[in-house]
Amino acid sequence: MRYIQSSDFGTTAHGRATKLYVLENRQGLQAVITNYGAILVSLQVPDRRGNTADVVLGYDTLVGYEQDRFFFGGTIGRYANRLACGRFALDGAGYQASINDGPNSLHGGTVGFHKRIWAAADRSTLSTQILELSYVSPDGEEGFPGELSVKVCYALPVDASDLHITYSATTNRPTVVNLTNHSYFNLSGDMARDILDHQLTIHAQHYTPVNSTLIPTGEVVAVTDTPFDFQSPAAIGERIRQADEQLRLGNGYDHNWVLRKSGGNHSQSAATLYDPESGLVLEVLTTEPGLQFYSGNFLNGSVRGKRGTAYAYRTGLCLETQHFPDSPNHTSFPDTTLRPGQEFASETILRFSTKK
């Protein structure tokens, strides 16, 4: 058995020690994770030429992640994406989550899970390196009810080009839960290049339009004959500048797609991303009902990431597997309620390959 290697990552501004954990396999994949925010710091993948490059945006230092406002690589919770005005009702009681995105609550509020220290444990087996990260979110944290015990596992099989991310959670009071990973991908490995020539496929016939603050209207609309149709591979930049009201509201793509499901609780293909330059292909599989595709519209070069690179407009994109935004306020959307005695369970697989 090959155990996970760890090293110090620094001390937070509040005096908490953090660690980096390195998972590696025989296919040349390397995933680096920190217990600060259960963040995916680096993901090294070999391209068609055999050259290995880091395909996720992030920072070289802990300070970068402490100051980060773009959620690079973070584990997002208690509620990923947006809640309208931070409000929701549960069993007749109203709750107010913290507001941190205009009038709304975004990605868990002011101090979400991506800013918390997680406990780490090596759960590796003979066939897979597994890092388990756990966190207990107290009742009332960021306005959410119930003590929530959360686990996130990053698993790297020895002989597969897959990174598995699994989530589980239990609560002692009824609450709402929506968890995801917020990595920004650029399959070229050159974070100074934009992602507009990446080709994307999303296995969805519908998406959920938004209002002016990016909250779903409650409608579920067919993607056919719209810029949101990625049922066949299309370059991200092909239609992103079209005169479309939804693209205007999102400043590009920042929407939830309703994934096609064939039944069962196993992970199914949600999207495929391909970079013609590197030949890298990323297939995203998940058990979740939705996929938020975000085209890096708010990156503006104001922050410098790894190796001092300024992350400019659309130099990374997110494919966030999750339940729908603002689901607690839309009874027609898949339910995000978790009750005592139940277990939240979710899986996402990042599967890499190459094309010639």
Catalytic residue positions?
A: 182, 320
Residue type, 190: D
Helix, coil or strand: residue 336: coil
Q: Are 200 and 230 in contact (CB under 8 A)?
A: yes
Distances (CA, A) of 281 to 14, 161, 184, 193: 40, 11, 15, 17
Beta bridge partners of 216: 210
Torsion angle, CA of 220/77/167/254, rounded to 10 degrees? Answer: 40
Residues across the chain: 356
Q: What number of other Cβ atoms are within 10 A of residue 289's Cβ? A: 19
* Spatial distance between the Cα atoms of 264 and 10, rounded to a whole number of angstroms: 43
Q: Please tell me whether the peptide bond between 304 and the residue prior to it is cis, using omega within 30 degrees of 0.
A: no
